[in-house]
């Protein structure tokens, strides 16, 4: 028994070291830096600054776009994942959706600049069907579209897993007991897959808050997120204090989102019992 315990504590060493070096220490440093001004004096000014109108509007607009991106990702990902679980070679189809996410983000973004350009294929198509050339690049639409495209695999995966684990007998039972398909979805399928949806929302919403390259390349800086502001503070203004302060708030928001999306454990327990 003693030996077993020792062994277990040895196993936890890599995890503990990892968490300490790459999670706790960096967060600690960010919090530390956020209390210093440009000349290295201790100050709370950065926090006061954050509540100025510019950064507050910035935060609200970041949340709005992150919400839009998450919403549309979910809208597309849920039916897709559902459809995938019903196909014959589901792992293959899933793989085909996952593979594009292995390609470098920047490359994909650059590809969209070409696709959405005035002389790109998308506008050629619009012209062909009689709508005529549109300015697609550098609009809200292009920004949300490209972001949704990038995040969709991350939304599909957890939902697919949840749906795949769902015991089909439960659906049959629901139908046998007289529920129509909408009621079955609402009362059986959705509650049992809600945890997949929650983790999907987490992995999309949180990074969407801090997107930064796409805001410039696709939205032409007409959309600005917290990520853009952090990048500017560190690379251009070299105000590490202010950059860290924004990052502290970003981390806080992340924690809140994690808490909100993992609050209701009931569904999971039911799920656990079933298995």
117 vs 267, which CB is nearer to another protein? 117
Per CB under 8 A, the list member of 188, 232, 251, 268 interacting with another protein is 232
Helices (H), 177-262: 181-184, 190-209, 213-217, 226-231, 240-261
Binding string, residues 187-226; x marks residues near another protein by CB under 8 A:
-----------------------------xx-xxxxxx--
Minimum distance, C-beta of residue 228 to another protein, in the bound complex (Å)? 9
Using the minimum distance from each CB to another protein, give the nearer residue, 163 or 217. 217
Stretch of residues binding another protein (CB under 8 A), selected from 18-26, 98-106, 178-186, 229-237 = 229-237
Window 42-61: residues binding another protein (CB under 8 A): 54, 57-58, 61
- DSSP state letters, 58-73: HHHHHHHHHHHHHHHH
- b or e along 163-189 (b: 16 or more beta carbons within 10 Å of the residue's beta carbon)? beebeeeebeebeeeebeeeebbeebb
x/- map, 116-145, another protein, by CB under 8 A: -xxx---------------x-xx-x-----
CA 229 to chain centre: 18
Sign of the CA dihedral 199, 201, 206, 210? positive
CA distances from 232 to 77, 208, 242 (A): 33, 17, 10
How far apart (Å, rounded) are the C-alpha atoms in residues 201 and 152?
A: 10
Residue 42, SS3? strand
Rounded (10°) angle between helices 140-165 and 90-98: 150
Quick one: which of 160, 201, 210 has its CA closest to 71? Answer: 201
Minimum separation from the CB atom of position 23 to another protein (A) = 23
Residues in 57-96 that interact with another protein by CB under 8 A: 57-58, 61
Rounded Cα distance between 219 and 113, Å, is: 10
Residues 15-34 binding another protein (CB under 8 A) are: none
Site string for another protein, 153-192 (x = CB under 8 A): ----------------------------------------
Told to check if 38 binds another protein by CB under 8 A, we report yes
Count the neighbouring beta carbons within 10 Å of the beta carbon of residue 254: 16
Instruction: Using the minimum distance from each CB to another protein, give the nearer residue, 54 or 256.
Output: 54
Instruction: Please identify, using beta-carbon distances, which residue of 61 and 101 lies nearer to another protein.
Output: 61
Provide the binding-site residues for another protein, judged by CB under 8 A: 38, 54, 57-58, 61, 113, 117-119, 135, 137-138, 140, 216-217, 219-224, 229, 232-233, 235-239, 242
């Amino acid at each position: 028994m003693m030996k077993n315990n020792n062994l277990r504590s040895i196993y936890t060493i890599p995890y503990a070291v990892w968490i300490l070096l790459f999670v706790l220490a960096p967060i600690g440093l960010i919090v530390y830096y956020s209390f210093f001004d440009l000349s290295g004096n201790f100050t709370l000014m950065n926090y006061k600054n954050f509540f100025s109108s510019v950064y507050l509007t910035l935060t609200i607009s970041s949340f709005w776009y992150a919400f839009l991106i998450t919403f549309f990702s979910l809208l597309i990902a849920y039916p897709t994942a559902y459809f995938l679980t019903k196909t014959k070679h589901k792992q293959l189809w899933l793989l085909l959706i996952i593979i594009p996410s292995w390609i470098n983000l920047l490359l994909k973004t650059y590809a969209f600049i070409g696709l959405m350009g005035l002389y790109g294929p998308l506008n050629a198509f619009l012209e062909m069907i009689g709508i005529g050339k549109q300015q697609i690049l550098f609009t809200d639409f292009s920004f949300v579209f490209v972001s949704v495209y990038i995040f969709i695999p991350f939304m599909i995966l957890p939902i697919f897993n949840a749906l795949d684990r769902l015991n089909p007998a439960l659906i049959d039972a629901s139908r046998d007991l007289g529920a129509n398909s909408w009621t079955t979805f609402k009362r059986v399928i959705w509650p049992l897959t809600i945890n997949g949806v929650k983790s999907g929302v987490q992995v999309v919403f949180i990074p969407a808050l801090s997107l930064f390259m796409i805001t410039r390349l696709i939205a032409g800086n007409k959309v600005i997120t917290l990520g853009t502001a952090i990048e500017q503070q560190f690379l251009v203004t070299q105000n590490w204090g202010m950059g860290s302060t924004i990052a502290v708030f970003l981390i806080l928001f992340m924690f809140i989102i994690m808490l909100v999306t993992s609050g209701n454990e009931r569904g999971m327990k039911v799920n656990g019992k079933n298995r």
